[in-house]
Structure 1
Amino acid sequence: MDTNYTTPAHSVLPLTDPDNIWSNGTSNGSHCPDSEAWDWLYTMQPVYMAVLSVLGIMGNVFVLVVFCFHKKPCTVAEIYLSNLAAADLLLLSCLPFWAANVANNFNWQFGGLMCRLVNAGIKMNMYGSIHFLVLVSGDRYVALVHAMSHGRMRRPRYAKLSCLAVWSLGLLLSMPTLNFRQVRYLAQYNVTACIIEYPSLEVEFACDAILLLLGFVAPLAAISYCTYRIVRALHGQRVERFNAENTERKATFLVLAVLLAFLLCWIPFHLLTIVDILYRLGMVGGCALDQALDICSQLFTYLAFSNSLLNPILYVIVGKNFRKKVYELGKQISLIRKKAGSTKSQLSTLKTFASN
């Protein structure tokens, strides 16, 4: 396969859309000078991704521990939010590999299998996160707008099946990454890189179209509709009913905060993906745009990945029910420790009597 690697700078970095990096056909033929900001970006990328991974993993593990080990079973919304935390944890577990890769001047050291798995994990997060948010916004929509007529839909069993369907969809949509990612030596750059090689431009743009349609446009439309109806319900004529259902309101405010954070973090990324596709098709061009794509592809990727760290923070700041669960879980752990201490005391007393 003849692959063109005379690409602009933004197409030879391991970020942006993980499946549009080091790919064939990503240049419109321009030869623009590299941006002066690259040295700073190369220096900051490994540090940023390492810090993001450590803090994000700690935060999302904490969220999962609270949801999974609390004495009360999870509500439907909490099932969706715990799966969102698991998707974020998957992404954050993959970032250290890319941090090491950037620090090593983009020489991939972890073999072909990890090249595929790491990038597939990132892609599964991209699809999974937004679809879990579709589920959680749909749950809030049913809870507040159609509580009487469709309340049966809000059952934990159905929620778990829906989450399984989202994970299966994410795995299916990540198959091109698993299939086309591989480790190759690039003589032009003197690196052995983890790249994606599509069999044709048609396949490449088909994958881009699927990402935008199923990973952004369609889920965004569903989230926007549900959010609009939720906000109307919260401020509508039935406020008295919602005041009586204070738990539902608290859960809804947390969900709205998580949705807003996700959109603020990911919309710039997807808009830039659209511009990058137009650039690669030759419909737009110029060195100014080339350098803007260079810088924005990095900054918007940082912003998108930061969402995985923001969610646990939002649970603590906005989620009153979550803070209550944390407090109750703390009491559970304290009681267990007291019982364990009492048992040890009794055993030591029995041993003393036995020795006498």
Structure 2
Amino acid sequence: MALLPTSIPANFTTVALSGDLNSTHGPDCPDAESAEWHYTVLPVYILLVSVLGMVFNAFVLMVFCFHKKACTVAEIYLSNMAIADLVLMTCLPFWVVYTAKKFNWPFPTPLCTLVTFSIKVNAYCSIYFLVLISIDRFLALVHPLSHGRMRRPKCAKLACVLVWGFGLLLGVPTLVYRDVKYFPHINSSLCYLNYPNTHVQLAFHVMQIIFGFIIPVSIISYCTFKIIKALQNWSIDALNTRQTEQKATTLVLAVLLAFMICWVPFHLMKISSTLLQAKLLEGCDVRAIVNTCTHVFIYFAFFNSVLNPILYVFVGKNFQKKVRELFKRWSCGGKTVI
């Protein structure tokens, strides 16, 4: 993937993605020409992801909300993650228009702030709901007796409220510094993060990398390792008596794996971008590679919001059971009315 023509300022492509001017291009690195598929193929892909994500996550929420049985702790976390993914997907159509217009923001400035703030917050919340899910499975399988009170629905709902609050807190930089500015020499209005200086920019980037990637991924990795180890140590009798826990754990492990595949590459590129800003990494070739990979990986990461509901349907045995029971109840209800 190439960058935009030399008449457009450095970092224009990255501005469209991360919202930062001076993000991955140094002043000494020449700009390249942008690939045409940025404005043709990319909007179609984002729109497809958005539509599928909205439909699939709405279906998941419908199953959890209308099923007669109360949600388990794991399902409370999964439903909240579906809400976060649904909100994120509803914001992407604005980015479709922005991309199709060659990164010329056509909407009012408040929408630039609101849309990007919503994307950030819900992306962070999705990650931390996965943290809660992994901790729940860890407690269920590794410490099933000593931490039973922590796995009550009331505690799960409280934890979800805390995650939403923490996600809003991590989105504050986007809320404060997002702006729309018109650049006459490129005839475009950019929706970007207008930090007051490089030090503030680096500080917020480091904070988001630590709290938005390193900490949650470390917790998820530790819990996953312990969960797999516990499953390996189970006897045949234990497996037979804990089938429900095993079914829930299989789904959780599939969701965690999907998250790692979809989101880790983007966060690694964000770390590389921050190292470039701090001048700990240098070189035009390195900058070009980071910019290219960032552009590809950010939209690949959004596909995770489509993948999760698919995993619920094909891997989640309990979810499949709920779907069958729900449709059977609606079917019987329809016959009664007739």
TM-score normalized by the length of structure 1: 0.89
The residue type equivalent to 2:30 in the other structure is C
User: In terms of Rg, which structure is larger?
Assistant: 1
SS of the residue 2:40 aligns to: helix
CA distance in 2, matches of 1:205, 1:44: 32
In structure 1, which of residues 8, 18, 37 is the aligned counterpart of residue 11 of structure 2? 8
Letter matched to residue 54 of structure 1 = V
Quote the Cα distance in structure 2 between the aligned partners of 1:283 and 1:320: 48
Secondary structure at 1:332's aligned position in 2? helix
Q: For residues 9 and 190 of structure 1, what CA distance do their matches in structure 2 show?
A: 12
Question: Shift in Å at residue 76 of structure 1?
Answer: 0.2
5 Å-filtered alignment, 1:1-356, equals: 6-12=9-15, 14-15=16-17, 18=18, 21-24=19-22, 27-35=25-33, 38-341=35-338
- Is the partner of 2:53 in helix, strand or coil? helix
The letter for the 2-side match of 1:34 is A
Give, in angstroms, the shift of residue 172 of structure 1.
Answer: 1.2
1:143 is matched by which residue type in structure 2? A
Q: Percent identity?
A: 49
Residue identity opposite 2:172 in structure 1:
M
Q: Distance in 1 between matches of 2:23 and 2:286?
A: 17
Report the Cα distance in structure 1 between the residues aligned to 2:283 and 2:12, rounded to whole angstroms: 13
Runs of 4+, deviation exceeding 4 Å: none
- Residue 109 of structure 1: CA displacement? 1.9
CA contact (8 A) 2:14 2:23 kept: no
Amino acid at match of 2:118: G
Aligned residues: 331
Runs of 5+ consecutive residues of structure 1 not aligned to the other structure: 342-356
Partner secondary structure for residue 185 of structure 1: strand
Matching residue's letter, 2:81: L
Assess if the C-alpha contact under 8 Å between 1:8 and 1:32 holds in 2.
no
Distance change (3 Å), C-alpha of 1:189 and 1:155 = same
Task: After TM superposition, give the deviation of residue 339 of structure 1 in Å.
Answer: 2.6
Q: Which moved more, 1:155-164 or 1:99-108?
A: 99-108
Q: Deviation per CA, 1:201-255, whole angstroms, max 9, x where unpaired? A: 1211111111110000011111111111110110104452232110110000000
Aligned to 1:354: none
| In 1, Cα distance between equivalents of 2:179 and 2:292 | 26
Q: CA deviation at 1:29?
A: 1.8
Further displaced range: 238-247 or 91-100: 238-247
Root-mean-square deviation over aligned CA pairs = 1.6
Secondary structure at 2:282's aligned position in 1? coil
Q: Which amino acid aligns with 2:133?
A: V
Q: Name the SS of the counterpart of 1:235 in structure 2.
A: helix
CA distance 1:97–1:56, change in 2 (3 Å): same
3-state SS of the aligned residue for 2:179? strand
Q: Could you report, residue by residue, the CA deviation over 1:119-151 in whole angstroms, capped at 9, with x for unpaired residues?
A: 011111221111000100000011111111111
In the aligned structure 2, how far is the partner of 1:296 from the partner of 1:25? Answer: 13
